[in-house]
Amino acid sequence: MSDKSLAQQLSEGFQELPGVGPRQAQRFVYALLEKEESFLKNFAALITALPGQIKRCEQCFWAFEGRTRLCQFCGDPQRDAHKLLIVERDTDVTNIERATGYSGKYFVLGGSVSPTRTDPQKELRLKELYHAVSTRPIGELILALSATSEGETTGIYIERIMDKLQKKQQFRITRLGRGLSSGAELEYSDGDTLKHAFANRA
């Protein structure tokens, strides 16, 4: 049994979420205390149901709710299979769909290459990405990554591991154009900025 209080344990749990620091986590805990018991029970039930009802697509690894093996993007024969767009997070897919009119396929890396990652090949889906590219007729590999040092490093890393494959299959590797301000993460970019950056990729 933990020596920490329930509030401490909840606060630490919230801090496991991206972008949540100690103060914000503490505010979440106290905000929950103001809610009705019925809300808390329903909220807890929804969280518990997550693993069973939301899963990852077997091809692009985007998280979706459904009973099929493939998400709506990978399972749609009308989408352009010759274009593969690489993103860091699930939310990036949602933002790009909403803002750009992109009609190709996706691949979710699960993060970015950063100094804290000791083995990017294992911690990110880089081997799965290589397999996805090597087993389909790719014409363009689009790196839709954040305009951060981690995003830049991730792009360079992907270009390096794709070098021989790119020469063999003759596909283009493009990046989002100017529009994303330096240091900006893709998931926080507004629709117009994202649309402009996407249209001017090179």
- Answer yes or no: are the C-beta atoms of 187 and 89 closer than 8 Å: yes
From CA 96, how far away is CA 106, in angstroms rounded? 10
pTM confidence score: 0.84
The per-residue b/e assignment along 114-148, b for 16 or more CB within 10 angstroms, e otherwise, is eeeeeebeeebbbebbeebbeeeebeebbbbbbbb
Q: Among residues 127, 50, 60, 131, which one has the least CA distance to residue 97?
A: 60
- Answer yes or no: are the C-beta atoms of 165 and 67 closer than 8 Å: no
pLDDT number for residue 181: 55
Q: What is the pLDDT along the chain (202 residues), one digit of tens a residue?
A: 568 899 999 999 999 998 899 999 999 999 999 999 999 999 999 999 998 899 999 999 999 998 899 999 999 999 999 999 999 999 999 989 988 889 999 999 999 887 666 677 777 999 999 999 999 999 999 999 988 888 888 999 999 999 999 999 999 999 987 656 554 567 666 777 777 777 778 7
CB atoms within 10 A of CB 28: 16
Which residues on neighbouring strands pair with residue 174, listed in sequence order? 142
- Which domains are assigned to the chain? 6-54 (1.10.8), 63-199 (3.40.1360.10)
Q: DSSP for 168-196?
A: HHT-EEEE--TTSPTT--GGG--HHHHHH
Tokens of 178: 């100017």
Q: Quote the Cα angle for 175-59-87, to 5°.
A: 25
How are beta strands 63-65 and 54-56 bridged, if at all? antiparallel
From CA 194, how far away is CA 178, in angstroms rounded? 10
pLDDT number for residue 99: 85
From CA 22, how far away is CA 27, in angstroms rounded? 9
Tokens of 131: 């397999």
- Answer yes or no: are the C-beta atoms of 57 and 110 closer than 8 Å: no
Q: Among residues 115, 109, 173, 186, which one has the least CA distance to residue 139?
A: 173
Going through 44-167 in order, the beta strands assigned E by DSSP cover 54-56, 63-65, 80-87, 104-108, 140-143
Tokens of 26: 């503490």
